[in-house]
């Protein structure tokens, strides 16, 4: 057993144990490997119960996979909606992972997440329920050398320090310094490809000086960078959510090959909403709130379905889309047809999460988690373009290897 494995098993913590199983460190069909897998799975079950996770024990729990080399080691233990590929085409890490919104498109393309980090406990529960891995915690306490080698670094680093809703303190806010944690990791790993996401206010924060610092630091690390502010409305989602996407490449030819060109897709609010009869009654506004909303919309054109948005000054806009989902916003700032708050599933749909995405936390937690998450179709467009570049390199490397093998025969 490698010393790295001993350290992980010995600590008995959920992030270590689930990453150990997920990343294939326990592959093998010999007796010792099977015993190690059984031991780790027992520890995971125990830790989950101690953690307070709503564990559903399946009839397969505790059964050791006999074909572990070919099968997903986690699948026989606890099936998840988004399992890691058995034969990945590339690897990536998921920093400030939230509930995995950035990860999903890269999973779809055959990528394998070999490391994830997220400090929020409830977000970690949602992440585990869907991906089978509990993210590591505070990234500032994790040595870069502990993070596995990877092809791509993904990071939706904390945006509150730069957002309109926050105090816009930037690097003066501890959350704003998280970019330098990304830089610390890149210095050690020299990751070939990076994709970062943040609020559009990052671009103009402190008259553009904050953004310039980020771009200058990436340049000093050898990255050729492109960036663009994108809007979720252009990607088939009825949500006005503008975010800056930053991509970086160590190879100049890759940088030149990448572009943000895409064809806008129409959105339809009707595809998001559930029938009122299926929505929990607790989400309906009080008669007083509904009356106040109607008073403030007198003289305005009303239509249905619609989202009624109340801004900071109390003005009401009736729209065929949602304004940006926000963490910490007033409870009634978004009302469907002026009468109720969006359900948990509707909030996830507004961000483009697949229907199979599991909800294992309270509605209040989902409100906060979706407010912190990303528009998945937007990320998917960027992911597909990055993957085409990665795939080209993989194909070229495979051809070169084939030529070498043929020459040696």
Mind listing the pLDDT tens digit for each residue in 370-379?
A: 999 999 999 9
Q: Residue 409: what pLDDT?
A: 52
Share of the chain above pLDDT 70, in %: 82
Q: Residue 5: what pLDDT?
A: 37
Check whether the bond before 305 is cis (ω within 30° of 0): yes
Q: Which of 113, 159, 277, 323 is catalytic?
A: 159
Least confident piece of the model among 67-81, 111-125, 202-216, 221-235: 67-81
Pick 289 or 5 by higher pLDDT.
Answer: 289
Q: Evaluate if residue 240 carries a pLDDT over 70.
A: yes
373 closest CA partner among 340, 324, 314: 324
Q: Residue 34: what pLDDT?
A: 80
* Active-site annotation holds for 159: yes
Q: Residue 366: what pLDDT?
A: 97
Q: Residue 212: what pLDDT?
A: 92
CA distance to 163, 207, 293, per residue, from 175 (Å)? 11, 19, 35
- E-assigned strand segments in 81-201: 90-95, 111-116, 152-155, 193-199
Local confidence band at 399 (pLDDT 50, 70, 90 cut-offs): low
Q: Evaluate if residue 236 carries a pLDDT over 60.
A: yes
Least confident piece of the model among 34-38, 169-173, 360-364: 169-173
Q: Which long-range contacts (CB under 8 A, 24 or more apart) does 205-214 make?
A: 205/162, 205/168, 205/170, 206/170, 210/162, 210/170, 210/171, 210/176, 213/171, 214/179, 214/246
Separation of alpha carbons 132 and 373, rounded Å = 19
Q: Residue 53: what pLDDT?
A: 65
Q: Tell me the average pLDDT of the chain.
A: 85
CA distance to 160, 161, 312, per residue, from 330 (Å)? 16, 19, 9
For the whole model, what pTM was predicted? 0.86
Q: Residue 6: what pLDDT?
A: 37
Q: Residue 75: what pLDDT?
A: 54
Q: Residue 16: what pLDDT?
A: 82
Which domains are seen in the chain, by residue range?
Answer: 1-79 (no CATH), 269-371 (3.90.120.10)
Question: What strands, in cross-sheet order, belong to the sheet with 224-231?
Answer: 111-116, 90-95, 152-155, 193-199, 242-249, 224-231
Residues facing 108 on adjacent strands: none
Local confidence band at 62 (pLDDT 50, 70, 90 cut-offs): very low
Taking residues 140-164, report their average pLDDT: 83
Q: What are phi and psi of 309, to 5 degrees?
A: -110, 125
pLDDT tens across 259-272, in order? 999 999 999 999 99
Helices 14-22 and 31-51 pack at an angle, to 10 degrees, of 140
Share of the chain above pLDDT 90, in %: 66
Q: Residue 400: what pLDDT?
A: 57
Local confidence band at 408 (pLDDT 50, 70, 90 cut-offs): low
Helices 209-220 and 179-189 pack at an angle, to 10 degrees, of 10
């Amino acid at each position: 057993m490698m010393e790295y494995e001993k350290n992980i098993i010995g600590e008995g913590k959920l992030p270590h144990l689930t990453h150990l199983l997920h990343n294939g460190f326990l592959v093998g069909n010999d007796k010792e490997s099977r015993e190690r897998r059984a031991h780790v799975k027992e520890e995971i079950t125990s830790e989950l119960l101690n953690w307070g996770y709503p564990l559903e024990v399946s009839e397969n729990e505790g059964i050791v996979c006999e074909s572990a080399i070919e099968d997903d080691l986690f699948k026989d233990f606890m099936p998840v909606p988004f399992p890691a590929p058995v034969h990945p085409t590339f690897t990536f890490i998921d920093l400030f992972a939230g509930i995995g919104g950035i990860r999903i498109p890269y999973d779809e393309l055959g990528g394998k997440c070999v490391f994830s980090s997220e400090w929020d406990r409830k977000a970690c529960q949602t992440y585990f329920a869907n991906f089978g891995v509990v993210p590591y915690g505070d990234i500032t306490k994790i040595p870069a050398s502990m993070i596995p080698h990877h092809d791509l670094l993904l990071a939706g680093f904390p945006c509150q320090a730069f957002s309109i809703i926050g105090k816009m303190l930037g690097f003066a806010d501890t959350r704003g310094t998280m970019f330098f944690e990304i830089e610390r990791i890149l210095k050690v790993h020299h990751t070939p490809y990076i994709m970062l996401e943040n609020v559009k206010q990052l671009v103009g924060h402190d008259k553009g000086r904050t953004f310039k610092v980020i771009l200058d630091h990436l340049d000093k690390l050898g990255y050729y960078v492109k960036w663009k502010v994108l809007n979720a409305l252009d990607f088939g989602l009825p949500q006005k959510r503008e975010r800056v996407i930053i991509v970086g490449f160590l190879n100049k030819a890759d940088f030149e090959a990448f572009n943000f060109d895409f064809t806008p897709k129409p959105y339809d609010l009707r595809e998001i909403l559930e029938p009122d009869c299926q929505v929990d009654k607790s989400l309906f506004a009080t008669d007083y709130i509904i009356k106040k909303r109607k008073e403030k919309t007198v003289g305005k054109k009303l239509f249905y379905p619609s989202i009624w948005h109340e801004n900071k000054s109390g003005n009401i806009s009736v729209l065929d889309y949602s304004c940006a989902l926000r963490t910490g916003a007033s409870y009634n700032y978004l009302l469907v047809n002026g009468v109720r708050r969006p359900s948990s599933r509707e909030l996830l749909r507004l961000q483009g999460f697949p229907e199979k995405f599991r909800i294992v936390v309270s509605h209040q937690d989902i409100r906060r988690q979706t407010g912190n998450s990303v528009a998945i179709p937007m990320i998917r467009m960027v992911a597909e373009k990055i993957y085409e570049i990665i795939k080209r390199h993989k194909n070229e490397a495979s051809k070169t290897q084939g030529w070498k093998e043929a020459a040696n025969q």
